[in-house]
Structure 1
Amino acid sequence: MAEPRDPDDACLVTLDVRRLGFADRDDRALRRDVPIEAPVAIEVCGIGYAVMMATPADLGDFALGFALAEGLIGTAGDLIETDIHAVEGGWIVRLTLPPEASERVLRRARARVTESSCGLCGIDNIDEVLRPLPPVAARIETDRAAIARALATLRDHQPLGRATGAVHAAAFCTPGGEIVCAREDVGRHNALDKLIGAIATAGIDAATGFILLSARCSYELVEKTVRAGCPLLVTISAPTSLAAERARQAGLTLVTLARADSALIVGDDRGTIA
């Protein structure tokens, strides 16, 4: 089982605040930890590709997961080098890819219409947004108890979330519900990118378990999960219509509104969950 980690100086700062009581008049001065949100510029093959607002921790995992989720590389082995530098006001992450990837990166950079890791990077028309996803071939056997077990222990893997109450978490779980890896970020997409990068670095096959997210289920999170090759996505909030449709098309089993007492399976789970 993955050991929960403590937040470090790269993750949070402490602010002086004043409590304002509504039901009572217990106003008082307090100190409150908040997550750091900083611009992280991603350069790929010498080309400025994106500027993300992110928590500047686990940036190596973030870079790898971002490159995989963007389709810039096919496997972790395609990433030749990652250089991470703190600069005035933020961070720069420089990725070196094989020469054959450079033209693809340049085309994406030219067509960019958004600067968010939300599945839209470098896409300039609706047809591209709705391009077919690779079908999910993997299947796992799990059950409702395993999903409940993962939900019950997720908070143990959210040190920054416990400290601040202001970040998202993404966790990779075994079919038995054991969390083996988790990452946090102010952005739900960033947290998932970090997780994808972390399990790829660890040599964990995403097809062997399921992903659990402390976020609403939007279509871009479905797409990232499908591209990672994971067969089951569990989220604590409801899906959007497009998320549900894209999951159905790709054959991704989607479990949403996951709570301690129940969850909703969207579409056909193909017998995956007992």
Structure 2
Amino acid sequence: MTPFSLTSTRHCYFARRDALRYEEQTQLVEEIPLAISINQITHAVMMVTPNHLDDFAIGFAFSEGIINSKQDVRDIQLEETTIAHLGIPGLALNLDISPRQFAHFKQHKHAHLGATGCGLCGKDSLEQALPILKPLPASQALPTHILKTLREMLFAHQDLGQKSGAIHAAMLLSPEGHPIICLEDIGRHNALDKIIGYALNHNISLHNHSVVMSSRCSTELIQKAVRATLSTLIHLASPSTLAVSLARQLGLTLIHLPKKDEPRIFASSFHADHSEKQNLSKN
């Protein structure tokens, strides 16, 4: 069986503007198509960085509502393949799940196509794209002096990012603000799914935990975090307006870390307003 972590970067030759040949080389992050099947039924094609794919598969299935816990997973098989008409490599992953969850999956199966920049592709209604989620319980806040260190801490823990750049990172923090693991992927949604899967695989309850992400925060990341009962999302780029509104309704603490300013808290579990719709100026 193919291992769950393959080469994540590759040397690529390039030329300067007036050069006649590709003579210089640099490391680029690997991006590969991953076909995901559930009990041998095709479900999605995601563009991924091929490391920690067991964590990704479980985190993806959990955040998609396909499983409720890692105990619903019976087996994971991963195989290397080739896209014949392009001559490029691909991966095929099959997730064997329990009969109960498989029956639920077949009832709710819908066309789904994933990409590095989209997490709501394939949803065929607004209700499906924005489902009802259970609000999170109140959680403890990280102190400001720790928040101010997280930008540098994230960069320091990025292995692939330091080699190649052009990759998203998600770093899981303990309730005290200590780094647990940093996982990277070409897709920001995939990076968070890897963290969720890692937590499930290691029996880590994400209440009072935080995840720091290199990307902006959008709606689908809020949904994934809330489903996983993660208490805090911290981003290096600004969130969208809908992400802020959903975070406030659902009790998720949402923080932006600007480069040259104090941390900006857009939503706090201590100020959750479950009736809020779009009032983004509300304290």
Which of 54, 59, 70 is the equivalent residue of 1:76? Answer: 70
Pairwise CA distance, 1:113: 4.9
Which of 8, 14, 19 is the equivalent residue of 1:17? Answer: 14
Pairwise CA distance, 1:190: 0.6
Aligned length: 258
For residues 181-260 of structure 1, the aligned pairs below 5 Å read: 181-259=181-259
- Whole-Å Cα distance in 1 between the matches of residues 108 and 29 of structure 2? 31
Pairwise CA distance, 1:56: 1.0
Match of 1:4 in 2: none
| CA gap 1:124/1:134 in 2 versus in 1, 3 angstroms | same
Which amino acid is 2:7 matched to? A
Q: 1:115 aligned to 2:114? A: yes
Pairwise CA distance, 1:120: 2.8
The answer on whether the counterparts of 1:65 and 1:194 sit within 8 Å (CA) in structure 2 is yes
- Whole-Å Cα distance in 2 between the matches of residues 179 and 252 of structure 1? 20
Which amino acid is 2:114 matched to? E
Match of 1:64 in 2: 58
| CA gap 1:16/1:78 in 2 versus in 1, 3 angstroms | same
- Whole-Å Cα distance in 2 between the matches of residues 13 and 263 of structure 1? 36
- Whole-Å Cα distance in 2 between the matches of residues 211 and 266 of structure 1? 15
| CA gap 1:137/1:119 in 2 versus in 1, 3 angstroms | farther
The answer on whether the counterparts of 1:150 and 1:173 sit within 8 Å (CA) in structure 2 is no
Match of 1:85 in 2: 79
The answer on whether the counterparts of 2:38 and 2:95 sit within 8 Å (CA) in structure 1 is yes
Q: Deviation per CA, 1:2-34, whole angstroms, max 9, x where unpaired?
A: xxxxxx86101101113459xxxxxx9531100
Q: 1:96 aligned to 2:96? A: yes
For residues 130-145 of structure 1, the aligned pairs below 5 Å read: 130-145=130-145
Q: TM-score, normalised by structure 1?
A: 0.87
For residues 137-176 of structure 1, the aligned pairs below 5 Å read: 137-176=137-176
The answer on whether the counterparts of 1:108 and 1:122 sit within 8 Å (CA) in structure 2 is no
- Whole-Å Cα distance in 1 between the matches of residues 269 and 137 of structure 2? 13
| CA gap 1:80/1:9 in 2 versus in 1, 3 angstroms | closer
2:7 alignment partner, SS class: coil
| CA gap 1:248/1:200 in 2 versus in 1, 3 angstroms | same
1:206 alignment partner, SS class: coil
- Whole-Å Cα distance in 1 between the matches of residues 203 and 234 of structure 2? 22
Q: TM-score, normalised by structure 2?
A: 0.84
Task: Show structure 2 runs of 5+ residues with no match.
Answer: 83-88, 273-283
| CA gap 1:12/1:268 in 2 versus in 1, 3 angstroms | closer
Which amino acid is 1:200 matched to? L
- Whole-Å Cα distance in 1 between the matches of residues 50 and 75 of structure 2? 18
Task: Show structure 1 runs of 5+ residues with no match.
Answer: 1-7, 22-27
Q: Deviation per CA, 1:114-149, whole angstroms, max 9, x where unpaired?
A: 334854365310122222212111512321112223
- Whole-Å Cα distance in 1 between the matches of residues 135 and 119 of structure 2? 17
| CA gap 1:238/1:222 in 2 versus in 1, 3 angstroms | same
Pairwise CA distance, 1:155: 1.4
Match of 2:267 in 1: 267
| CA gap 1:206/1:260 in 2 versus in 1, 3 angstroms | farther
Which amino acid is 1:152 matched to? E
| CA gap 1:241/1:258 in 2 versus in 1, 3 angstroms | same
CA RMSD of aligned residues (A): 2.3
Which of 35, 38, 41 is the equivalent residue of 1:44? Answer: 38
- Whole-Å Cα distance in 1 between the matches of residues 227 and 152 of structure 2? 27
